[in-house]
Each structure stands twice: as C-alpha cells, then as structure tokens.
C-alpha cells in the first residue's frame, strides 16, 4: 500500500505531501516532455500548453507500465524560468492535475533537452 504523509511538525506544503511510504514494484518514468506523437514540441513559448502536454504524456508513460497517477510517489518538475511567475504557471496546472498530492520538487532551470522546451516532469510510481 502506498501512503502519502504530511508531517504536522512541518509547515503544510502547497499541494503535495512531505513523504510517501511505498511497497511493491517501482516504476521509474523518464522525464515527460512536451512532444506530440510526431516528435514536435507543442506550445512553443507557452508554459501552460507545454505543461498540459507533459502531464498527458506522463499519464500515457505510466499506463504503459500499468500505473496510474494515484500510484505516483515522487514527482520532479523542471521549468525553464527566471521568475516565480513563470514557475507558478506550471505549478498551478500541476496542482490541479490528477498528479497532485505526491511528494514533489519544483525547479527553475536554464535549459532543457529539446529546442523550445520549457517544461519536463519525471515521476516514480509504485505498483501493488
């Protein structure tokens, strides 16, 4: 059984849990990127559009392993950003998605792997 815990001894986190306790088979998803089926970057210059594509691609990746968003025990979100506002656009979409609640890390970075890419999300899930 996977369990997500928010420690009462720490400040309440915004939209994620502090830790996850997992038992079962681990699933490691490669960073989900904002590419369509033809390998083209979706939403050039648009963090919101890229985030939606990344979340959909991550869901598809997990399904290939028999996992669901509820099985995710750790998420790392990478955003090409120099301001908090740029990070917030992505975080707001993430925390309103089906992936909300897992222990999460949000990072602003200078560059990602594809030209024009602004968002990437990697996840670890556990299958019972």
Write the pLDDT tens digit of every residue in 26-69.
Answer: 998 999 999 999 999 999 999 999 999 999 999 999 999 999 99
Give one DSSP letter per residue of the chain, joined into a string: --EEE--TTSPPPSSB-SEEE--SEEEEEEEE-SB-TTSPBSSTT-HHHHHHHHHHHHHHHHHHTT--GGGEEEEEEEEE-SSHHHHHHHHHHHHTSTTTBS-EEEEEES--SSTT--EEEEEEEEE-
Question: Whole-model pTM?
Answer: 0.87
Whether residue 126 contacts residue 2, with contact meaning beta carbons closer than 8 Å, is answered with yes
Instruction: Spell out the CATH class of 3-127.
Output: alpha beta
Longest dimension (CA), the chain: 47
Q: Please list, residue by residue across 103-116, b when 16 or more beta carbons sit within 10 angstroms of its beta carbon and e when fewer do.
A: bbebeeeeebeeee
| Count of CB atoms situated within 10 Å of the CB of 27 | 19
pLDDT of residue 1: 57
- What is the average pLDDT score of the chain? 93
């Amino acid at each position: 059984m996977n369990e997500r815990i928010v420690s009462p001894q720490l400040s309440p986190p915004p939209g994620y849990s502090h830790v996850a306790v997992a038992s079962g088979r681990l699933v490691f998803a490669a960073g989900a990127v904002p590419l369509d089926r033809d390998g083209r970057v979706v939403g050039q210059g648009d963090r919101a559009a890229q985030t939606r594509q990344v979340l959909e691609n991550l869901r598809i990746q997990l399904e290939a392993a028999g996992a669901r968003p509820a099985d995710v025990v750790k998420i790392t979100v990478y955003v090409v950003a120099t301001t908090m506002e740029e990070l917030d656009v992505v975080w707001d979409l993430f925390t309103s998605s089906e992936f909300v609640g897992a222990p999460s890390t949000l990072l602003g970075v200078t560059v990602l792997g594809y030209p024009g890419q602004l968002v990437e999300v990697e996840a670890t899930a556990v299958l019972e």
